[in-house]
Every structure is written in C-alpha cells, then in structure tokens.
C-alpha cells in the first residue's frame, strides 16, 4: 500500500461529492480524504496497485485539476490556481 497526495482545485463539499462518485468506482483505492482547509485542497489517497497517473486522470475526468504533491508543490500550486493556468 502507498499514499498519494494531490493538490486540487476542489472548492467545497459539493465538488468533493462529485469526485467521490468517480473515486469510489476504482478498485485499489483503500481510503481517501480531502483537506478543504488546506490552500492546496489536498487529496490524500491510500492505494494498492494504482499509479498516480490513474488517479490524476480520474480527477480530471470528474472535471477537476490536480497535480501530485512533490518537493516543489508550492510552486506548482501557485501556477495551478492562477486564472491563466491550463488554457
């Protein structure tokens, strides 16, 4: 089992509920939670036999953006949440 963390653009409990529908369909996710109080709206997942790419694609398919948390995540978060990001 491994833990993955992603910065997201989730806004509130309604957006988390939308994502929940997608994440609950994936075998291999043991548990997950979103910290909406964190400026990066961090989602933490405990998974078995899943890649970070699979999770990122699932988050994107639910209509949200994400970036896996790495050593330089604060710089990525700043870019991810600017208005001209990802156009």
Q: What CATH class is the domain 2-80? A: alpha beta
- What's the whole-number mean pLDDT along residues 9-17? 94
**What does the block give as tokens for 79?**
């870019």
- What pTM did the predictor assign? 0.78
Cβ proximity of 8 and 34 under 8 Å: yes
- Where are the domains positioned within the chain? 2-80
**pLDDT for 81 beyond 80:** no
pLDDT at 69: 87
Name the band, by pLDDT with cuts 50, 70 and 90, for residue 87: very low
Neighbours of 27 (CB within 10 A): 8
- Per-residue pLDDT tens for 15-69? 999 999 899 999 999 999 999 999 889 999 999 999 999 999 999 999 999 989 8
């Amino acid at each position: 089992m491994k833990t993955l963390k992603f910065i997201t653009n989730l806004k509130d409990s309604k957006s988390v509920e939308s994502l929940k529908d997608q994440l609950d369909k994936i075998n291999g996710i043991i548990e997950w939670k979103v910290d909406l109080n964190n400026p990066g709206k961090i989602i933490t997942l405990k998974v078995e036999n899943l890649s970070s790419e699979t999770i990122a694609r699932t988050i994107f398919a639910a209509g949200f953006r994400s970036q896996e948390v790495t050593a330089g995540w604060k710089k990525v978060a700043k870019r991810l949440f600017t208005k001209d990001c990802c156009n």
